[in-house]
Each structure stands twice: as structure tokens, then as C-alpha cells.
């Protein structure tokens, strides 16, 4: 799988499928595999570009301070190196914040934004997250992941399997790099710009998503944005209930005439 170095950093991405481009950007503290169910289904109809954010997966573990704008340029760099002029963007948590920034700054590059979480403001939880990784890693990593799903999900067969899948890769993480990513995520407030968004936007929250209030606020401020809630799910609803999540995405893209005709 290739690396993009267009932004001066090593950003790993996976490419699969053919058709119109769809760019996927995961949440903290996951990696590109957060989108395993979406990549497997949507690659039948789209060219999927699935990115590991800096600090995660196979991408650079950068500990120096950087910004959300830097992370957004990483995505544009991947698109450049993959020869993608425009795409549908799908992002969760920090991925959704990156999507908002990209949609506001580069509306001609994105046909639609599919955002999970969708908050446009700072989170009071992030300083606690940074402290957790700096002082309690690796035990805090499990706590962070379990905080992002419905309380019952870790006790299911599927939940245990998926959480263990990500915990098995925690040796790839560097606490200082994760902390830098979390600080960058929380450094930008986009709320005052949302009324200028021109890219069609769908925001999805799980029923008990800790970002649901922020997602609802964002959807009200973006012109013509749609908001949907998945019952029995948390922040990581694309993993917790992929059947419902994918159906919501398909129906939205069909309404916007963005679903491939042959699909």
C-alpha cells in the first residue's frame, strides 16, 4: 500500500475498488480499519481512499505540535498523490472536523460530506484524553475506545472482537504522537463558518454518542444539512451498526444523485 509525502509527512493510505472517489478518514484512537465495513461494501461502487491519520496506523508518529490545517493538508496530499481531483468525503470524529474544514476551504473538491459525530467546537473531554495517553498508556487506550461505543457493545461477541482488533495494534502507537493529534483536533472552532458551507452534508450520530449535541448543532447551522441518529450505538456507530450506517449513507447519496448508476 502506498504512502503520500505531498505534505512533507509519511501518510499511509489504502486504495481499493473503482469508480467515483470516496475518501475515508477515521476517528481517534482508531486507524483506517475503523471503516472496514464501509470499505468492503462501498468499494463495489466507488474507488475507496482509506487514510491512516498522522499518529496512527502506518502513518508518521509526529510528536511536534501541528494543527488541524496540517492534517487537512495531509488529506489533500493523499488526493494529489492518488490523482483524485474530487471525492465524497466520509469522516468520523476528528475525521469529521477535518471534513468540515475541507468542505469550507475547498468546496469544489468534495461532492458531499458524510460526517460521524460532526461537532464543530472544542470538546471539554480532550484535555482528559491527552492526560490519559501521557500518564496511563496503554491501559487508557482501552478505556478511550470503550468510551466511544454503546455501554453494552464491549460485552457482545462482535464488540469484543472489534475492540481486541484495535487493542492488538496499540504497540504501533506513541503516546506523545497521539497527544499531539488530540491537541490539533481540539485547536480549531468552525461554528461561525458553518452557514457558508456549500457542500451537501449528512451528519450521523449514535443514540448515546458523546458528540451528539455537537452534531445536532452543526446540522442546524449548515444550510440543508441532514441529521440522522442510529439507535443503540455510540460515537463509533459505523462499527457498531454497519448495516444501518451504510443504509443511511446509500439513501443519502441516492437522494443527492451521487450513487453510481450501476450500483
Specify whether the backbone of 114 is left (phi greater than 0), alpha (psi in -120 to 50) or beta. Answer: beta
Q: Is the dihedral of CA 254, 95, 209, 55 positive or negative?
A: positive
pLDDT average, residue stretch 233-241:
98
Please give the pLDDT value at position 262: 67
Question: What is the domain extent for residue 139?
Answer: 3-255
CA–CA dist 83, 60 (Å, integer):
22
**Whole-prediction pTM value?**
0.96
Biggest CA pair distance of the chain: 51
CA–CA dist 66, 262 (Å, integer):
42
Length of the chain: 263
pLDDT average, residue stretch 243-258:
98
pLDDT average, residue stretch 33-48:
98
With 80 as the cut, is the pLDDT of residue 263 above it? no
In a domain, 126, yes or no: yes
pLDDT average, residue stretch 46-54:
98
Mean pLDDT of the chain: 96
CA–CA dist 194, 258 (Å, integer):
22
CATH number of the domain at 20, please.
3.40.50.1820
In a domain, 146, yes or no: yes
Could you tell me which of 36, 35, 21 has the C-alpha nearest to residue 112?
21
Total domain count for the chain?
1
Please give the pLDDT value at position 254: 97
In a domain, 261, yes or no: no
Lowest mean pLDDT among 1-10, 73-82, 145-154, 225-234: 1-10
In a domain, 260, yes or no: no
pLDDT average, residue stretch 161-187:
94
With 90 as the cut, is the pLDDT of residue 225 above it? yes
Amino acid at each position: 500500500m502506498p504512502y503520500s509525502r505531498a505534505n512533507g509527512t509519511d501518510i499511509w493510505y489504502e486504495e481499493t475498488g473503482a469508480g467515483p472517489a470516496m475518501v475515508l478518514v477515521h476517528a481517534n484512537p482508531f486507524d483506517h480499519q475503523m471503516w472496514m465495513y464501509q470499505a468492503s461494501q462501498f468499494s463495489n461502487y466507488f474507488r475507496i481512499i482509506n487514510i491512516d491519520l498522522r499518529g496512527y496506523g502506518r502513518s508518521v508518529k509526529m510528536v511536534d505540535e501541528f494543527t488541524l490545517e496540517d492534517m487537512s493538508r495531509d488529506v489533500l496530499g493523499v488526493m494529489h498523490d492518488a490523482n483524485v481531483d474530487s471525492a465524497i468525503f466520509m469522516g468520523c470524529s476528528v475525521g469529521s472536523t477535518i471534513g468540515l474544514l475541507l468542505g469550507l476551504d475547498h468546496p469544489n473538491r468534495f461532492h458531499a460530506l458524510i460526517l460521524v459525530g460532526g461537532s464543530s467546537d472544542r470538546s471539554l473531554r480532550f484535555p482528559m484524553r491527552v492526560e490519559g495517553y501521557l500518564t496511563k498508556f496503554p491501559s487508557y487506550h482501552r478505556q478511550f475506545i470503550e468510551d466511544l461505543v454503546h455501554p453494552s457493545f464491549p460485552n457482545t461477541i462482535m464488540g469484543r472482537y472489534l475492540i481486541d482488533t484495535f487493542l492488538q495494534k496499540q504497540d504501533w502507537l506513541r503516546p506523545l504522537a497521539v497527544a499531539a493529534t488530540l491537541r490539533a483536533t481540539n485547536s480549531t472552532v468552525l461554528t461561525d463558518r458553518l452557514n457558508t458551507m456549500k457542500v451537501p452534508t449528512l451528519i450521523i450520530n449514535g443514540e448515546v454518542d458523546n458528540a451528539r449535541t455537537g452534531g445536532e448543532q452543526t446540522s442546524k447551522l449548515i444550510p440543508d444539512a441532514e441529521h440522522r441518529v442510529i439507535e443503540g450505538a455510540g460515537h463509533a456507530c459505523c462499527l457498531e451498526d454497519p448495516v444501518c450506517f451504510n443504509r443511511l449513507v446509500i439513501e443519502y447519496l441516492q437522494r443527492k444523485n451521487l450513487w453510481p448508476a450501476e450500483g
